[in-house]
Structure 1
């Protein structure tokens, strides 16, 4: 593992005002910033989520300047996932109908001329990153600074062999910065422990 010059994070909230991190062993994780959760035609009430999009862009750009990787963790269901998902999770996303025709992979209705595709399905429009985040990720993928991880549970770290968990272990990542939608359940509830801070500024 290469070690770069440590960075000091300033102006942190709480009793600890600064922290020193190693960017090469740190990662910014952006969670579920997808059209399904943020686009006004699909989630009109998600005003708080849309309000942090510009902040998200600045966070990713700051991470890149500090040689820190950004990991985009998003729902991306496929046929195998449908076979292995617990019924309780399928029910949670069925709008109370408990029907497979309403849950993951079901065809969503056209909204204002938009064809959302299958619900949170890999490659569907509703699963794509929202607004300016899509080209932001594409640029990072081209530069090699950004990586994409599909998830099939609320948490990207729900088990010992998730793609995200394996990547973090293989790359010896010890510090995570979390941003995006529902970060309290979509990563933090995973069963792997990491040192986490609120990102404020990188000096």
Structure 2
């Protein structure tokens, strides 16, 4: 029986293409021409489907939403949950491996401004819950929660967290006081607003955040890539980054958000797909 011949493929267009070889898998190094030899260091990674080869200098580990709001037990998050497992894997494996390979480490976090909150569409606000007041009460003129408001989930059902009424009433609403595991009580800040405690990086990972080499980029939607331009998009273009490894929490939302941007040309890989 004749041995099947190896084949190679060229996928894409002159300005953005991949290479594929039946023996070596996908090549995502993005040389200027498919005929041009690759002169920079490369990294081959086994995945759940096929090997991929990348150029670390054009790649980034993008860490999604590893913030106190999503992970802190002071806000009722369950220890040992998926977010905490992701934190452990990032701390132990992904971040050290990315830095050793020469990849950029990007922290893509919620970080809202007053202007963001003024223009935030209701469809986005709903995802984080909102507030409700008794039928006979009047809404506040500035759209803020009133003294008789309660936090409700995205279906309008009163939300309880570990037997307590939810301490937040939607994006930008005050979280009130928060008691840390140490017993210290601090201001939680407004929900996912920049410079607040709840929007800060989760402490175990804050220890490995490098303000010199890492990039901390704020987003105001589930995805950091939406609309005509975002700070995340501008950063990727400026740094010449082509291949993105997503990790953290809510990666599915960001991954889908990036994939929906038909005009954008990044390689997106979920850390969970890597073996």
TM-score, normalised to structure 2's length? 0.65
The aligned residue for residue 34 of structure 1 is 67
The aligned residue for residue 50 of structure 1 is 84
Please state if 1:73 is matched with 2:108. yes
The aligned residue for residue 141 of structure 1 is 211
Please state if 1:172 is matched with 2:240. yes
Aligned pair partner of 1:105 in 132, 148, 172: 172
Deviation per residue, 1:18-75 (Å, 9 max, x gap): 2110001111100000000001121424711112212111211111111100110000
- SS at structure 2 position matched to 1:107: coil
Deviation per residue, 1:87-131 (Å, 9 max, x gap): 222233234539633222221122322421111110000001112
Comparing 176-185 and 108-117, the one that deviates more? 108-117
Comparing 97-106 and 110-119, the one that deviates more? 97-106
Where does the alignment leave 5 or more consecutive residues of structure 2 unmatched?
Answer: 1-30, 32-38, 134-142, 146-168, 180-184
Please state if 1:24 is matched with 2:57. yes
**Number of aligned pairs?**
193
- SS at structure 2 position matched to 1:24: helix
CA distance in 2, matches of 1:173, 1:55: 23
- SS at structure 1 position matched to 2:211: helix
The aligned residue for residue 94 of structure 2 is 59
The aligned residue for residue 123 of structure 1 is 195
Q: 1:45 to 1:193 in 2, by over 3 A?
A: farther
Greater strand fraction, Structure 1 or Structure 2: 2
Q: 1:141 to 1:187 in 2, by over 3 A?
A: farther
**CA contact 2:65–2:109 (8 Å) conserved in 1:** yes
CA distance in 1, matches of 2:122, 2:270: 34
The aligned residue for residue 5 of structure 1 is 41
Where does the alignment leave 5 or more consecutive residues of structure 1 unmatched?
Answer: none
Structure number with the bigger relative contact order (C-alpha 8 A, sep ≥ 6) is 1
- SS at structure 2 position matched to 1:41: helix
CA distance in 2, matches of 1:21, 1:173: 11
Greater helix fraction, Structure 1 or Structure 2: 1
